[in-house]
Amino acid sequence: MPELPEVETVRRGLSEHVVGKKFKKIEVLHHRATAAKSIASLDSLKRARVIEVKRRGKFLWFVLDRPEVLVGHLGMSGQLVIRRRGAPDERHLRARFVLGKEELRFIDQRTFGWLGVESTREGIPMCVQHIAPDPFDPKFDLAVTVSRIRAKKSEIKRVLLDQSVMSGVGNIYADEALWRSKVHPETRAENMRSSKVISLISSAAEVMSEALSAGGTSFDDLYINVNGQSGYFERSLAVYGREGEGCLRCGQQIRRITFSNRSSHFCPKCQPTPRTTGNQ
């Protein structure tokens, strides 16, 4: 599933190809390509010119020369790619935006991704209003985020994935950040010291920024950038997908546990089981 570094890689790639261009023709090829909450059909954006491509967490949107935006989420397997006009259609092609010599294509094998037309408030699409800024957003407030995390009476792994607390962190980078900060995924957020939460947020920002430099992680072949290339970051993952292999810090075997329907990978020695009371 694409996380912040992958979505940001896509945003940067799209920006190079679509900014200043007009949607000359729009074709919707699958009904699930359009979000149920879309306020208009996608083809109502015909003749709109793209001003900018923006992102918050895992949501992307195209700012247009009109009040509405084209907003999208890649879901599990969505791809937004640029192809030259007339290139053969992909098997799971769901929507096509003709820009001129190039086309913006939305491809989605598992159809959990979507595009929609939305209005905005303070520059943020309505469906993104409940999403908290991610650590790369100029509006990100560290002190506010730390208090929000410590106010959650829940396991830290679950809190890291809560996009209304801090956005952008998904399962892979949550496991990597917890390993870097030596925090067990089941540690209660309310028992963590502020300094530990700050260290965890910096680890999350650090690991996502390294992944971004590598063009994202593509562990399941479904994530590709706009030119159809995969990222290389999976070579740098320390715990995710490494169950039974040695910890890169201490050699102990990496363990995988499941809670809240997600796999969590951690080192039992570097990330010891939390005590039930007192500060961690």
Q: What residues act catalytically? A: 2-3, 58, 262
Interaction between residue 87 and Zn ion (CB under 5 A): no
Main-chain dihedrals φ then ψ at residue 152, nearest 5 degrees: -85, 125
Which tokens is 40 given?
């208009």
Interaction between residue 33 and Zn ion (CB under 5 A): no
**Residue 266 Cβ, how far from Zn ion at the closest point, in Å?**
9
Interaction between residue 249 and Zn ion (CB under 5 A): yes
**Residue 271 Cβ, how far from Zn ion at the closest point, in Å?**
7
Region near Zn ion per CB under 5 A, out of 97-105, 115-123, 215-223, 249-257: 249-257
Interaction between residue 49 and Zn ion (CB under 5 A): no
Beta bridge partners of 96: 27, 105
Please state the three-class secondary structure of 17-37 as a single string: HHCCCECCEEEECCHHHECCC
Single out the residue of 219, 183, 220, 217 nearest to residue 203, CA to CA.
183
Nearer to Zn ion, 189 or 267 (CB): 267
Binding mask 250-269 for Zn ion (x = CB under 5 A): x-x--------------x-x
Residue 172 CA, distance from chain mean position:
10
Q: Assess contact for 95 and 27: CB atoms under 8 A.
A: yes
Nearer to Zn ion, 67 or 244 (CB): 244
**Residue 214 Cβ, how far from Zn ion at the closest point, in Å?**
23
Nearer to Zn ion, 63 or 247 (CB): 247
Region near Zn ion per CB under 5 A, out of 31-39, 71-79, 85-93, 247-255: 247-255
Query: What is the β-pairing status of strands 102-108 and 120-121?
Result: unpaired
Q: Measured on CA atoms in the order 151, 153, 156, 160, is the torsion positive or negative? A: negative
**Interface pick for Zn ion out of 160, 247, 265, 274 (rule CB under 5 A):** 247
Query: What is the β-pairing status of strands 102-108 and 124-125?
Result: unpaired
Question: Tell me, what DSSP letter sits at residue 77?
Answer: T
Interaction between residue 46 and Zn ion (CB under 5 A): no
- Where do contacts with Zn ion occur on this chain (CB under 5 A)? 247, 249-250, 252, 267, 269-270
